[in-house]
Chain A
Amino acid sequence: MSAVTPRLPPPRRPLNTGRLLGQVLTYTALVLLAILFLIPYYIIFRNALLSQPQITAFTWTWLPIPPRFENLRAILEDPTAPMLTGLRNSAIIATVQTSGSILLASMAGYGLARIPYRWANQVFFLMLVTLMIPGAVTFVPSYVLVASFGWINTLHGIIVPGLFSTFNAFLFRQFYLEFPSELEDAGRVDGLSYWGIYRHILLPNSVGIITALGLLGFIGSWNAFLWPLIIGQRSAYWTVQIVLSTFLTAQTINLPALFMGAAIAVLPLLLIFIFAQSYIVEGVKATGIKG
């Protein structure tokens, strides 16, 4: 996973009227599509700052002026929507799951790529087999297992089964296979153990791939729905997605509060996307080869 490859300009052709017209049409189409794609976000933040009568009025209010920030208090104080608990649970689950699974996957990737163990390939094969199993389909068997551990209505019941990503281990293995061995040899001469080499040489040089896969993992974890829904059944274990979903399916009366909740739920990820998009794009390209 290298840095973003520099993009070459398309081949230069004489600029004639036809080509100019083509460019104008292309930009027109792009601008119209861009507006269409941004409408849902616009609606979330507009409705989050409007009043109920403004939202349900027959004439469209374009901008929330003045913005009604009291909607924030309405959602945070609604007893049927434990938003703060949800945010806290989501933050804990996404952080622990992301850091834990990245650590385990990068360690396994290093071991598979760099430690000359006799059965390494057989172990790797046994791990790859699990990629054949469609993720969400295992929710019934996994629920059965987690239930038998007595982990229903616990945060670790939501977190632990998501810590073991074969696919990330596979990507780390690829990355470490291409890692120059000179640095590693230098470390060995200095008397570093396998752990020392991993900790002091490979990890500091994997910041790019760790950030890319970590951000993708965080997004997936924060937005997850099915697994947290079936494991965290009591409201104390709801994630922010479950809080919103419950609120959404139970009552649809308090629109400003609901949209404010949606805005709060989506804002952390929007910020990540705005400030770290190149890493996410690299991560998507890497995971996209999973065919």
Chain B
Amino acid sequence: MSVQSVPTSTAAHASRQRRRQLRTTLAFWGFVGPLFLGLIVFTYIPVLWGFVLSFFEAKRTVTPTTFVGLENYLTLFRDRAFIQSLITVALFALFIVPATTALALGLALLVNSITRGQTFFRSVFFIPTACSYVVASLVWKLNIFNGLPFGLANMVLYQFGQDPIVWIGPPNPPWYWLVLVSVRLWLQVGFYMILFLAGLQEIPRSLYEAAYVDGASGGWTTFRNITFPLLRNTTAAVVVLNIIAAFQAFDEFINILSGTGSSNINLARPPLVYLYGIAIGSQDFGLGTAGAFILAAIIIGITLLQNRFFAFGREERA
């Protein structure tokens, strides 16, 4: 805006200012409006509508029929299958979260410690991220852990004189957990390794030099006293992202355990698989939305607890 050389009347000035304000307002909404409108239609409205539906009976219709109060929520908590799905996913998280965090950190430390070939090894560990859960499930189910003598895992066992194992099927011993955990581990560990590598590269080199001068031998001592404490925020982020993802597990459970004439899906049914059956299969949207809100509450609760537990240093994550 140019400098005013001729004094103008206050009325004209006010009108010009109003025009400029209007122009700013229009420009802002022109840029932000499309996304904001989309969020209202495709996030706010469904969540609010779903919340209303969860207090109503709504079977085979997406409009609320009869008000039932908390009945849908109570039905779910009385349903052993739903409770079992929560236990299943908690158990799954208990396996996959520590395994992913430890392996991702280990890979990052290994890759970070070498001088030649860093990019190559980083790429190799990262490239499973390109694979979909469907494709990986296919490989795990039909080859590595197919339970037949030609499956890769059983071929390896044979080399050690072991009989083939039926990996996916009998609940005892629960080998299917190995299948479910290893497929997700392979798919996601590279992603978290990248986060740890980024965290490692932010640690000032001078700290290691100082420790070396002070006589630290490197290895475990430096890891415990320098590396790990300075990776706390990265670790916290990795754990939280990992838990959120684990509680929403769906793809590998459906693709590995379900199938024509197979009852394997009964072995482990996480909440999203359960809700998929209720909402999409039986078209019971009152019950389905109630379940979705229970699961959302659990995930948000764990995230908040986790943040408090790790005492997030926000200032470092700007």
Which residues from chain A sit less than 8 Å from chain B, CB to CB? 5, 7-11, 13, 23, 26-27, 29-30, 33-34, 37-41, 43-44, 47, 55-58, 60, 104-105, 107-108, 110-112, 115-118, 120, 123, 126-127, 130, 132-145, 147-148, 160-161, 163-164, 166, 169, 193-195, 198, 219, 222-223, 225-226, 230, 241, 244-245, 248-252, 255, 258-259, 262, 265-266, 269-270, 272-273, 277, 280-281, 284-285, 288-291
Contact = CB atoms under 8 A, between A and B. Distances in A.
Contact of B237 (A9, A137, A291): A291
A248 B138 contact: yes
A43 B152 contact: yes
Given A145-B46, A163-B38, A285-B194, A40 B139 contact: yes
A36 B107 CA distance: 13
Interface of B: 24-25, 27-32, 34-36, 38-39, 41-47, 49-51, 53, 62, 107, 110-115, 117-118, 121-144, 148-150, 152, 155, 186, 190-191, 194-195, 198, 201, 205, 208-209, 212, 218, 236-237, 240-241, 244, 247-248, 250-251, 254-255, 258-260, 272, 275-276, 279-280, 285, 288-289, 291-292, 295-296, 299-300, 307, 312, 317
A164 B132 contact: no
B292 A137 contact: yes
Contacts of A55: 143, 150
Contact of B49 (A145, A262, A285): A145
- Which residue, A33, A111, A144, A291, has most C-beta atoms of chain B within 10 A? A291
Given A140-B275, A285-B195, A133 B134 contact: no
A262 B144 contact: no
B127 A291 contact: no
B133 A161 contact: no
B27 A111 contact: yes
Nearest to B47: A141
Contacts, number: 293
B297 to A, nearest CB: 9
Contact of B255 (A13, A248, A269): A248
A166 B39 contact: yes
A137 B43 CA distance: 12
A284 B130 CA distance: 13
Contact of A144 (B53, B236, B247): B53
